Amino acid sequence: MRGLKDKVVIITGAASGIGKATALRFAEEGAHIVVADFADGTAVVDQVMEKGVQALYVSVNVTDPDSVATMVAKTIEVFGRVDILINNAGITKDAMMKKMTKEAWDAVINVNLTGVFNCTSAILPHMLEKKEGVVLTTSSVVGIYGNLGQTNYAAAKWGVIGMTKSWAKEMAKNGLRFNCVAPGFIATEMVKKIPDQVLNERILVKVPAGRLGEPEEIAAAFAFLASDDAKFINGTVLSVDGACTL
Ligand code: NAI
């Protein structure tokens, strides 16, 4: 990909799954990586540095604006700037609507929607001053099409698409780009929580590709959207889903 070498990238939720794969892919492209997660990301930092770039682990809770402000401040202290933010931290707390608690609603909205607001708000003054920057967010096909048992998750994942489009309309003129990737069902810890029977009989039968996606396939989409090859792509959602939404 063009233009990723020596860029500084913050990736939230980078201690595992899609975020970890994205950290490794951006490192292969020559970018320097901030592994931002409330889980320990030091092992990912070690793997990233083996690729010959710099990396930093920052412990962050994306629901807490003070913690997020510290994440941005530490990044700027160490690297001097931030070029790309990937809002990827996310959780699920599934239940059918008639059983969904307010606690489950709040937890998922706080991480998956408000967390994206918090991180993007914190980075914007810096990017606006530089008159360049890319903010990418992990949405989900569930946000576009809905899903049984995921009222909270679908609301958050649809919400980040609305935020992304609004930001593109507001700030494309300032040299900033905002896009989402909407993964289908990807082989990570999150999907391992789905019972085998549900996965095989309800989910995989609806995926024309006949398999789960790999985290590296989402990382590749992020790398493209962050690169100079995507300079005129702003406010869009790229589904990476093995055709499961057709
Ligand atoms: P994962 O569970 O492997 O990774 C999520 C990471 O987010 C974890 O490392 C976790 O510690 C971190 N995290 C959670 N809450 C946090 C908080 N408050 N502050 C900081 N870090 C926090 O899951 P996966 O699958 O890699 O998910 C990554 C993103 O992709 C999520 O936004 C998820 O909703 C989204 N996604 C995943 C799909 C899948 O099939 N696995 C499909 C569509 C979207």
Q: What is the arithmetic mean of pLDDT over 78-101?
A: 98
Tell me the C-alpha distance between 22 and 3, whole Å. Answer: 16
Q: What is the pLDDT of residue 108?
A: 99
Q: How far is the CA of 13 from the centre of ligand 1 (A)?
A: 6
Residue with the larger pLDDT of the pair 171 and 192: 171
Q: What is the pLDDT of residues 127-162, one digit of tens each?
A: 999 999 999 999 999 999 999 999 999 999 999 999
182 lines ligand 1 (CB under 6 A): no
Type of residue at 231? K
Please state the atom number of ligand 1 nearest to the C-alpha of residue 89.
7
Helix (H) or strand (E) holding 139: none
Please state the atom number of ligand 1 nearest to the C-alpha of residue 63.
18
Task: Choose the weakest-confidence range: 65-74, 103-112, 141-150, 200-209.
Answer: 200-209
Spell out the domain ranges in the chain: 8-186+215-238
Q: Which residue lies with its CA nearest to atom 12 of ligand 1?
A: 13
185 lines ligand 1 (CB under 6 A): yes
Q: What is the pLDDT of residue 79?
A: 98
Q: Kindly give the residue spans of alpha helices, DSSP state H, lying in 84-195.
A: 102-109, 115-130, 141-145, 151-171, 189-192
Tell me the C-alpha distance between 110 and 104, whole Å. Answer: 10
Question: Is the confidence at residue 198, as pLDDT, over 90?
Answer: no
Q: How far is the CA of 175 from the centre of ligand 1 (A)?
A: 28
| pTM (global) more than 0.95 | yes
User: How does residue 194 score in pLDDT terms, banded at 50, 70 and 90?
Assistant: confident
Please state the atom number of ligand 1 nearest to the C-alpha of residue 189.
3
Q: What is the arithmetic mean of pLDDT over 205-225?
A: 96
User: How does residue 192 score in pLDDT terms, banded at 50, 70 and 90?
Assistant: confident
Q: What is the pLDDT of residue 224?
A: 98
Q: How far is the CA of 16 from the centre of ligand 1 (A)?
A: 8
Q: What is the arithmetic mean of pLDDT over 210-220?
A: 97
Q: What is the pLDDT of residue 190?
A: 82
Question: Is the confidence at residue 170, as pLDDT, over 90?
Answer: yes
Q: What is the arithmetic mean of pLDDT over 50-68?
A: 98
Q: What is the pLDDT of residue 203?
A: 87
Q: What is the arithmetic mean of pLDDT over 73-99?
A: 98
Q: What is the pLDDT of residue 2?
A: 96
Average pLDDT, the chain: 97
110 lines ligand 1 (CB under 6 A): no
Cβ atoms of 118 and 65 within 8 Å: the answer is yes
ipTM above 0.90, yes or no: yes
Domain boundaries 8-186+215-238, corresponding CATH code = 3.40.50.720
